[in-house]
Amino acid sequence: MILAIETSCDDTCAAVLDGDRLLASVVSSQTLFHARYGGVVPEVASRHHLELINTVMDEALADAGVDLGRIGRVAVTTRPGLIGALLVGVATAKTVAFATGARLVAVSHLEGHVAANYLPPGAAEPPFLCLIASGGHTSLVYVEKDRSFRTVSQTLDDAAGEALDKGARLLGLDYPGGAALDALAASGDPGFASFPVGLDRPGNFNFSFSGVKTALYYYLRDAAPALARERRADIAASYQSAVISALVKKTVAAAESLSCGLVCLAGGVSANSLLRRRLRQQSEARGIDLRIPPPGLCTDNAAMIASAARFLPDLPYPERLSLGAQATGLPV
């Protein structure tokens, strides 16, 4: 039985996994604490993790109906993320493992996002192509049969989630903007305005989202205020459609070029309804099998960290005593 801890950004998370049965997954979001600043403040995030982690862990164990004595392995996100935030999770995991005699496993947050796909109900078996699209990362990785990763392409500047969140902010939506933009765009016309996305070239699977952000900025700066107000849903739909189209187009093209019949989605942007819908349509049209984890496993959570830990080795003793955290992860 695995107890997993995830504190890489602003969600304090713990989960209990038994085989592939998820017994509990608790996510305590700090969003409201950071909303007044319009983004995550690293020092505030780590202080809140420190206050919340014991309660979140206790709640996960209570939900699962198990006590610490039954935990055989403790898994923790060690990279990439906010260093102070990561260190709270790492210190907690080391302490629990030391106190209970459980084994300790270090997990990359991005490996975790991908491993959300190894859990039911979708439970994908590699090899597959995975689009990782989150607040801080956007890449296409090929997951080999042995679950190792090979990077196919990545963003050369901003992540897709960053582009969606900043676009939402330019449109006057509250932080965090990704979900609010998705909701506003639902009632808009995606063909209303055109926002060019960088690297729109066949055969180039890398992403670029900094230009489309700037395009929205200039569009809103130059638009008549009344038009920008009245057509806000249409502008939101057009902007979101531009970002999502780039993700869908490159994912499908890369799958075809690699002759890969199975595609998975990972990361918070996979909660975006347009991405889910468009990728499903495009995959079906091409006979590609598409797996998308439920939204709760796409955004940050510890269930995905437990899932990844199943396929990773325990840290040896005594090296595990010096386990630390890294702000930047190895590229996946």
Ligand X SMILES: Nc1ncnc2c1ncn2[C@@H]1O[C@H](COP(=O)(O)OP(=O)(O)OP(=O)(O)O)[C@@H](O)[C@H]1O
Binding site for ligand X (CB under 6 A): 8-9, 81, 109, 134-137, 161, 164-165, 178-179, 182, 267-269, 271-272, 299-300
Does residue 156 contact residue 205 with C-beta atoms inside 8 Å? Answer: no
Give the nearer residue to ligand X in terms of CB position, either 45 or 102. Answer: 45
Give the nearer residue to ligand X in terms of CB position, either 9 or 325. Answer: 9
Q: How far is it, in rounded angstroms, from Cα 122 to Cα 19? A: 15
Residue 134 in the binding site for Mg ion (CB under 5 A): yes
Put residue 71 in one of left, alpha, beta given phi > 0 → left and psi -120 to 50 → alpha. beta
Give the nearer residue to Mg ion in terms of CB position, either 114 or 288. Answer: 114
Q: Min. distance of Cβ 121 from ligand X in angstroms? A: 19
Give the nearer residue to ligand X in terms of CB position, either 161 or 198. Answer: 161
Using only C-alpha atoms, the chain has a radius of gyration, in whole angstroms, of 20
Q: Min. distance of Cβ 218 from ligand X in angstroms? A: 22
Which window, 138-146, 167-175, 220-228, 292-300, contacts Mg ion (CB under 5 A)? 292-300
Q: How far is it, in rounded angstroms, from Cα 86 to Cα 64? A: 24
Backbone angles phi, psi at 245, to 5 degrees: -60, -40
- Residue 161 contact, options ligand X, Mg ion, none, Cβ 5-8 Å cut-off depending on partner type: ligand X
Furthest CA-CA distance within the chain? 65
- Residue 272 contact, options ligand X, Mg ion, none, Cβ 5-8 Å cut-off depending on partner type: ligand X
Q: Min. distance of Cβ 300 from Mg ion in angstroms? A: 4
Q: Min. distance of Cβ 266 from Mg ion in angstroms? A: 9
DSSP state of 119: S
Give the nearer residue to ligand X in terms of CB position, either 8 or 241. Answer: 8
Residue 102, judged by CB atoms within 10 A of its CB (0-12, 13-18, 19+), counts as buried
What contacts 310, CB < 8 A, 6 or more positions away?
2, 17, 20, 115, 118
Residue 77 in the binding site for Mg ion (CB under 5 A): no
Distance of CA 145 to the CA centre of its chain: 22
Q: Min. distance of Cβ 100 from Mg ion in angstroms? A: 27
Residue 300 in the binding site for Mg ion (CB under 5 A): yes
Q: Min. distance of Cβ 268 from ligand X in angstroms? A: 2
- Exposure class string for 38-68: b at 16+ Cβ within 10 A, else e: eebbbebbbbbbbebbeebbeebbeebebee
Q: Min. distance of Cβ 99 from ligand X in angstroms? A: 28
Give the nearer residue to Mg ion in terms of CB position, either 113 or 232. Answer: 113
Q: How far is it, in rounded angstroms, from Cα 272 to Cα 325? A: 30
- Residue 164 contact, options Mg ion, ligand X, none, Cβ 5-8 Å cut-off depending on partner type: ligand X
Give the nearer residue to Mg ion in terms of CB position, either 105 or 114. Answer: 114
Residues that bind Mg ion (CB under 5 A): 134, 300
